[in-house]
Amino acid sequence: MPSATTPLRHYPYENSQAEPSKAPKSGSSVLSADQIKKEPMDRNGNAYDMTPPLAPTDRMAYMDPDVPWDPTLHGFQHRQPQVFTPITPFPSLTPDQYNRYMTQEPQPEQRELRRSTRTRGRVSRQIRDEEEDYEDEDEKTTEPPEQSSSGGSSQSGRRGPQSHPRSYKRLSDEEKSTIKYQEKRLRNNEAVRQSRQKSKAVQEAKNRELESLKARNARQTRELYEMRNNLAALAMTKDEYRRRASNCEQLLARIKEGMKGRENTCYAVLPILEEVATFRA
C-alpha cells in the first residue's frame, strides 16, 4: 500500500506511484483495466463488474495530504464505511468564522423589480411588484393637471416651448389721454390694418389660383371626353374596314375560281361584276 505522502488521484489507475496491480485473490473482483481486458472472467466463470466507480462524497479530501489512503474515497467496488468525515460542513472556514456565520441574522431579501409591459412609444420605468402600504389614504392627494392656454392639458405629450397670454392691465383715463399712449394706439392700429390687408391679399391670390385650377380641370376633362369619342369612332372605322377587306378577299377568290378554263369568255365575269357594283353601292 502506498505511503501517506503519495498524492491522491480521483481514480486508482491515475496514480502513477501506486504499486502495480497484482493478481486478484479468490472471491475478489478488484482488478486493473488491463487485467480485465485480458481475463474478462474470474476463476468461477463470472464476469467482472465494469460499472464506473461512484464519485467521492467529499472532494476536499484529495487536497489534504495527511488523510490516509482509503479505497472508499477512491470508488472501489467493495466499499467500506467512510473513515474521513469533515469536522464542519464548511472545510474552508475556521470554527470562529463558522460560528459567526451561523449566529448572523438573515438579511431581508431585496424586493425584485420588474419592467413594465409597455415597451413602445416611450421608455418604461421600473416599478415594484408590491405596492406600498399607506397608513392613511386621505393623505395621498393628487394635484389636477395644469390647463394650458389652448384649453388642453399640459401633460398631453406636446414638447417644446408653449406660449402663454400676457397679463392684461386696465389703464385709467388719464393714462389713455397721454400722447405716448395715443402714438402706441396709432402704431398698433396701423400694424393691424397692414396685417389684415396682407392676409386678404394672400387669400385672394389663393382664390384666383383655385379658380384657374378649376377651369383647367374642366377644360382637360372636356378634352379627355372628346379624345375618348374619337378613339371609339376610330375603333368602329377600323372594324368596318376589316370587314370590307375580308369581303374583297372572298370576292377575289371567287373571281379566280370562275376564270379557270374560261379566260376568253367575258360572260363568266358578268355576275361577278354585278356583285362588285352592289358591294360598291
Q: Which three cell numbers stand for residue 237?
A: 372605322
Report the SS3 class of residue 1: coil
What are 176-220's pLDDT values in tens digits? Answer: 889 999 999 999 999 999 999 999 999 999 999 999 999 999 999
The mean predicted confidence, pLDDT, of the chain is 68
Q: How many residues does the chain have?
A: 281
What is the Cα–Cα distance from 103 to 95, expressed in whole angstroms?
12
pLDDT above 70 coverage of the chain, percent: 40
Does pTM surpass 0.85?
A: no
Which amino acid belongs to residue 209? E
Predicted confidence at residue 217, as pLDDT, reads 95
Predicted confidence at residue 146, as pLDDT, reads 58
What is the Cα–Cα distance from 130 to 132, expressed in whole angstroms?
6
Determine contact, residues 113/125, Cβ cutoff 8 Å. Answer: no
HEC letters along 258-275: HCCCCCCCCHHHHHHHHH
At what angle are helices 270-280 and 179-258 packed, to 10 degrees? Answer: 170
Parallel/antiparallel/unpaired status of strands 126-128 and 113-115: antiparallel
Predicted confidence at residue 210, as pLDDT, reads 96
Work out the pLDDT band at 80, boundaries 50, 70, 90.
very low
What is the residue-wise DSSP string for 233-259?
HHHHHHHHHHHHHHHHHHHHHHHHHHT
